């Protein structure tokens, strides 16, 4: 076929685009037809019965395995590798608290039906046990065989009891007597002292005693709980240890000195263990009159849900383990023997407590664009510049904080509205909102009480805000408010002007330095009007119609994503070059996966950057040949949600608060916003194209469902790291226009 007659993207799709010009003009992006506005969209199963899907839970475990792989990667600074080990342990804790706990509840409830991959709850649990036992074993191998020896080579010694010299033993005894023993409460187990209710993830010691107690009774088992107020790692003075930097684990001190708590008796064995409980909160939204009070009641029980996992020292005798299993009603598969501290995630304090910059990531200073530098009149800048995009953490989050601060003190600002899902303990946003209210401005905050593991903090925050005279709304019953929106209403020249911030991340200044996210500052009438309508809906519960720019869940986002995928599919079927680039935390929705499979079969090139869970199977012959899935990990937690659909004249980049998951599409209030022009091109380059090029810290999802590290070719120069490239590009720079 000659070059001039070869069907190209535009020539094949021009007619298609012309056919849809009229409909696009009548129905603005994000606004569904009126007959689809009456109620939120509901979940529907895909039409393809034999859809090839991966298991969600094993996909998460594969993600945690990738995190653990960074803990053994010599290219990562040594103390940062310790941090990744702790993160992998913390991830696994939450996995058991929520996902495994939910599967066990299904089994107890007699649920036999399979999930989207066809596995029954019992099959899932069996598969999870195999995978997690191997993962935990690998965690301790990384700690004992890699990290601790390498730290010792760097002069950082974590001393087991077998390596204590006489001076260290004396120092440990004094430390125990003065700093630890006074806060411990040993509990002998007998009919008057039954087995206690241990809190979730607490470090506890089981002591096997021999001898007669003070009342002449034969001793048996006793328990000692280690309060969370005690440090898990203790520095030993170099004058005592004979080493420049020496540390001992709290568990080692307790093993060595716990006999002091049982005078006249002999501990035959001391065995540390930790339990993980079901931590999900169960509130039937439609049955409660006050969701806040219902949550407060549930929170009291969170630390005492059903036990789902027992971690115990590897030297613990079987008879002791069986005793603990009986107390917690656990099967053998729920027991994890570990060769080291049972609370690995509590070692997260080690990197921060050791002053060795050479063993950590190099310091990084976010860039501040000149247009929004400190002291700039942000309202004037936004109005003049139009849409302003900030890429965090490479660019500072301070302009977002400063926008609320200026709004609070500006006499021309009449109202501030903001959603809060997760925010810091000492949030600058909260202070500014309270200042604004005290200054007489109308302040409304939509706060999501059910943000998992932040429920208690958000209830306390709601109280503080209400005491400052702020109108607090708890979102919509049955739907978590996950959208990230800020609206400021200001009087300018006898008219009202609105300004917005929307983003992919939470209003949390600390995580803004650790997570990759996108912020958009704008005074665009179409966007500010849409955000105002959504706030009115959240507070007044009326219908939101005729959105010009925002795509909103649970009303239209799912069908919108499907339609955009199908549009690319039609273009490819007509001989064009359909293309989809998307980045998110998780891909779980089966109907979206089905649409992507159909797109791939039609010739659409699909490239997905998915940090964590992905149930889609990439590169399967005849099904997903044209789909690539890549996972990129690194110094910063990848958190941005960015979608790009390459349909010729309608090519557009979207930033979103939502992953492609049923919960985001159908059970949450979410938004996606198009970003056009130079800002959209920049987002596409930095958030999508850089990550698809990464061959330093990227993994490809293969057709067999396994993730394999992308191998850098030595003949291609230095490895390309997306995160490092962006760090080098922005580090500490004041950016001009």
Query: Which residues belong to the active site?
Result: 482
Strands in 307-313's sheet, in edge-to-edge order, are: 187-188, 221-226, 203-210, 266-277, 307-313, 335-338
CA-to-CA separations, 326 to 111, 330, 456, 700, in angstroms, rounded: 24, 7, 32, 43
Residues 35 and 44: their CA atoms lie apart, in Å, by 18
Q: Where are the beta strands (DSSP E) in 434-531?
A: 442-447, 471-473, 480-481, 485-492, 495-503, 515-522
CA-to-CA separations, 723 to 28, 572, 635, 701, in angstroms, rounded: 35, 33, 8, 20
Q: How far is CA 336 from the centre of its chain?
A: 25
CB–CB of 516/694 below 8 Å?
no
Q: How far is CA 78 from the centre of its chain?
A: 23
CA-to-CA separations, 174 to 80, 161, 267, 470, in angstroms, rounded: 32, 15, 20, 52
Residues 124 and 57: their CA atoms lie apart, in Å, by 8
Task: Scan for tokens 């000692």, then name that residue.
Answer: 224
Q: For the chain, how long is the longest CA-to-CA vector?
A: 101
Task: Scan for tokens 């998780």, then name that residue.
Answer: 586
Residues 645 and 37: their CA atoms lie apart, in Å, by 24
Nearest CA to 344 out of 251, 223, 213, 476 is that of 251
What SS3 state is found at 629? strand
Residues 548 and 135: their CA atoms lie apart, in Å, by 48
Task: Scan for tokens 């050479």, then name that residue.
Answer: 358
CB–CB of 408/432 below 8 Å?
yes
Q: Phi/psi at 584 (nearest 5 deg)?
A: -165, 175
Count of Cβ atoms closer than 10 Å to residue 527 Cβ: 23
| DSSP character string of 32-92 | --GGG-SS-------S-TT--B--HHHHHHHHHHHHHHHHT-TTS-HHHHHHHHHHHHHHH
| DSSP character string of 222-287 | EEEEE-TTS-SEEEEPHHHHSSSEEEEEHHHHHHHHGGGGSTT-EEEEEEEEEEEE-------GGG
Residues 604 and 481: their CA atoms lie apart, in Å, by 33
Q: Phi/psi at 99 (nearest 5 deg)?
A: -75, -50
Nearest CA to 224 out of 251, 248, 191, 200 is that of 251
What SS3 state is found at 571? helix
- Terminal Cα distance for the chain, rounded: 46
Residues 80 and 94: their CA atoms lie apart, in Å, by 21
Residues 617 and 593: their CA atoms lie apart, in Å, by 9
Q: Quick one: DSSP state of residue 346?
A: G
CB–CB of 705/54 below 8 Å?
yes
Q: Quick one: DSSP state of residue 622?
A: T
Nearest CA to 207 out of 193, 188, 221, 186 is that of 221
CB–CB of 271/316 below 8 Å?
yes
Q: In the structure encoding, which two tokens stand for residue 1, read together? A: 């076929």
């Amino acid at each position: 076929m000659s070059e001039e007659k070869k069907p190209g993207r535009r020539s094949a799709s021009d007619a298609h685009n012309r056919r849809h010009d009229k409909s696009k003009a009548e129905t603005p992006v994000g606004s569904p037809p009126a007959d689809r506005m009456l109620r939120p969209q509901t979940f529907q199963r895909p039409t393809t019965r034999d859809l090839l899907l991966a298991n969600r839970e094993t996909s998460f475990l594969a993600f945690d395995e990738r995190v653990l792989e960074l803990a053994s990667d010599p290219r990562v600074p040594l103390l940062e590798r310790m941090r990744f080990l702790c993160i992998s342990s913390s991830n696994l804790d939450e996995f058991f608290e929520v996902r495994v706990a939910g599967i066990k509840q299904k089994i107890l409830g007699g649920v036999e039906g399979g999930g989207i991959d066809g596995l029954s709850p019992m099959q899932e649990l069996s598969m999870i046990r195999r995978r997690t036992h191997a993962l935990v074993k690998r965690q301790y191998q990384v700690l004992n065989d890699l990290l601790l020896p390498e730290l010792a080579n760097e002069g950082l010694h974590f001393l087991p009891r077998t390596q204590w010299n006489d001076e260290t033993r004396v120092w440990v005894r004094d430390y125990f007597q003065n700093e630890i023993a006074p806060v411990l409460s040993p509990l002998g187990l007998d009919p008057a002292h039954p087995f206690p209710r241990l809190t979730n993830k607490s470090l506890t010691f089981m002591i096997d005693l021999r001898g007669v107690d003070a009342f002449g009774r034969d001793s048996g088992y006793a328990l000692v709980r280690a309060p969370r107020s005690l440090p898990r790692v203790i520095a030993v003075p170099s004058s005592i240890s004979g080493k420049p930097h020496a540390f001992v684990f709290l568990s080692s001190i307790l093993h060595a000195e716990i006999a002091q708590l049982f005078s006249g008796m002999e501990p035959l064995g001391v065995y540390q263990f930790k339990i993980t409980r079901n931590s999900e909160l169960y509130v039937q939204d439609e049955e409660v009159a006050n969701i806040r009070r219902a949550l407060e009641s549930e929170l009291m029980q969170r630390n005492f849900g059903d036990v789902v996992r027992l971690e115990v020292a590897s030297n613990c005798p079987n008879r002791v383990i069986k005793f603990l299993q009986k107390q917690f009603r656990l099967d053998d598969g729920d027991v994890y023997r570990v060769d080291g501290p049972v609370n690995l995630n509590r070692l997260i304090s080690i990197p921060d407590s050791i002053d060795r910059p050479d063993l950590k990531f190099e310091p990084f200073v976010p860039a501040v664009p000149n247009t929004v530098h400190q002291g700039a009149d942000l309202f004037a800048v936004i109005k003049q510049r139009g849409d302003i995009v900030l890429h965090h953490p490479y660019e500072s989050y301070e302009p977002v904080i400063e926008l609320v601060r200026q709004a609070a003190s500006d006499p021309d600002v009449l109202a501030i509205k903001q959603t809060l899902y997760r925010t810091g303990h000492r949030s600058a946003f909260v202070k500014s909102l309270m200042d604004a209210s005290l200054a007489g401005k109308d302040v409304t905050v939509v706060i999501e009480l059910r943000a998992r593991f932040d429920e208690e903090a958000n209830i306390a925050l709601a109280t503080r805000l209400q005491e400052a005279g702020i109108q607090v709304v708890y979102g919509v019953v049955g739907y978590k408010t996950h959208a990230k929106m800020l609206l400021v209403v200001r009087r300018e020249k006898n008219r009202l002007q609105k300004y917005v911030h929307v983003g992919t991340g939470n209003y949390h200044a600390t995580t803004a330095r650790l997570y990759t996210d996108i912020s958009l500052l704008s005074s665009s009438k179409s966007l500010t009007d849409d955000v105002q309508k959504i706030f009115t809906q959240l507070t007044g519960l009326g219908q939101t119609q005729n959105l010009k720019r925002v795509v909103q869940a649970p009303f239209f986002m799912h069908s919108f994503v499907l339609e955009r995928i199908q549009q690319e599919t039609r273009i490819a079927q007509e001989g064009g070059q359909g293309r989809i680039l998307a980045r998110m935390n998780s891909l779980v929705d089966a109907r979206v996966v089905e649409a992507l499979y159909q797109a791939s079969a039609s010739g659409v090139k699909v490239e997905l950057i998915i940090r964590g869970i992905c149930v889609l199977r990439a590169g399967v012959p005849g099904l997903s040949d044209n789909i690539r899935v890549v996972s990129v990990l690194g110094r910063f937690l990848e958190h941005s949600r960015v979608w790009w659909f390459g349909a010729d004249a309608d090519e557009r980049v979207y930033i979103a608060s939502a992953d492609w998951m049923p919960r985001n599409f159908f059970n949450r209030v979410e938004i996606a916003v198009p970003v056009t022009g130079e800002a959209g091109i920049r987002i596409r380059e930095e958030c999508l194209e850089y990550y698809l090029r990464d061959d330093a810290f990227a993994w490809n999802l293969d057709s067999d469902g396994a993730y394999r590290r992308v191998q850098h070719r030595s003949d291609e120069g230095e490895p390309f790291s997306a995160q490092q490239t962006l760090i080098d590009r922005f580090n500490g720079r004041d950016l001009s226009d």
